[in-house]
């Protein structure tokens, strides 16, 4: 077969078809990824809002072991937290961080606990100059999602760590969104 035969065969095969008009589609909204990134940044800023340096809560300190229980929480969970009945699923080490960086990391930890449905987390404060060790409980009690906090038992960091309990969404709501 020659080249002209190929063209003739092609023309015969496409007889009766219409030429396609070229349309270029331009989406009116930016891609979803950017929206999710913006939402995440806004959520983190919203969480950081709760951490004020001027606020001085009345923390119960029993033999220098810091503890806190939100007013509407069951008092028994504080005892469970002290005994080590809750096993932390997330760990945050704040050694060597500045106060501002530590605030951001705390905000990110609480957001992570909410998103991952983590009830108990451990925050390693260390000893050092005691700046973070003294300030972190003051920040945490300001956040509405923190149910309780207590100096960690030895197995979870002892005097150099704090365990926190983070309030979670209703479990039914969680199960609905999992599907």
Domain containing 98 — which CATH number?
3.30.1370.110
Q: Which domain holds residue 129?
A: 32-175
Q: Is residue 3 part of a domain?
A: no
Long-range contacts of 130-135 (CB under 8 A, 24+ apart): 131/99, 132/94, 132/97, 132/99, 132/102, 133/160, 135/53, 135/99, 135/102
Q: What is the pLDDT of residue 115?
A: 86
Structure tokens, 131? 């700046």
Q: What is the pLDDT of residue 174?
A: 46
β-pairing, 146-151 with 90-93? unpaired
Q: Is residue 167 part of a domain?
A: yes
Q: What is the pLDDT of residue 31?
A: 62
Q: Is residue 59 part of a domain?
A: yes
Low-confidence ranges of the chain (pLDDT < 70): 1, 27, 30-35, 43-50, 52-64, 170-179
CB 82 within 8 A of CB 67: yes
Q: Is residue 27 part of a domain?
A: no
Q: Is residue 17 part of a domain?
A: no
CB 132 within 8 A of CB 99: yes
Q: Is residue 148 part of a domain?
A: yes
Closest to 121 measured CA to CA, from 107, 104, 135: 107
3 state DSSP class of 148: strand
pTM score, whole prediction: 0.65
β-pairing, 60-62 with 90-93? unpaired
Q: Is residue 4 part of a domain?
A: no
Q: What is the pLDDT of residue 173?
A: 46
Closest to 149 measured CA to CA, from 45, 65, 24, 63: 65
**Residue 152 carries which DSSP code?**
P
Q: Is residue 133 part of a domain?
A: yes
Question: What is the number of domains present in the chain?
Answer: 1
């Amino acid at each position: 077969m020659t080249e002209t035969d190929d063209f003739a065969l092609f023309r015969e095969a496409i007889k009766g078809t219409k030429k396609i008009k070229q349309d270029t589609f331009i989406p009116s909204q930016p891609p979803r990824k950017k929206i999710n990134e913006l939402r995440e940044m806004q959520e983190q800023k919203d969480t950081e809002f709760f951490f004020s340096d001027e606020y001085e809560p009345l923390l119960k300190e029993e033999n220098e072991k810091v503890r806190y229980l939100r007013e509407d929480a069951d008092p028994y969970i504080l005892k469970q937290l002290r005994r080590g009945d809750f096993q932390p699923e997330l760990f945050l080490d704040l050694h060597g961080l500045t106060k501002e960086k530590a605030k951001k990391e705390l905000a990110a930890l609480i957001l992570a606990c909410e998103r991952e449905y983590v009830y108990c987390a451990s925050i390693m404060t260390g000893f050092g100059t005691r700046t973070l060790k003294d300030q972190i409980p003051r920040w945490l009690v300001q956040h509405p999602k923190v149910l309780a906090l207590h100096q960690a038992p030895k197995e979870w960091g002892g005097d150099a760590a704090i365990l926190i309990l983070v309030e979670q969404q209703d479990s039914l709501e969680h199960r609905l969104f999992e599907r």
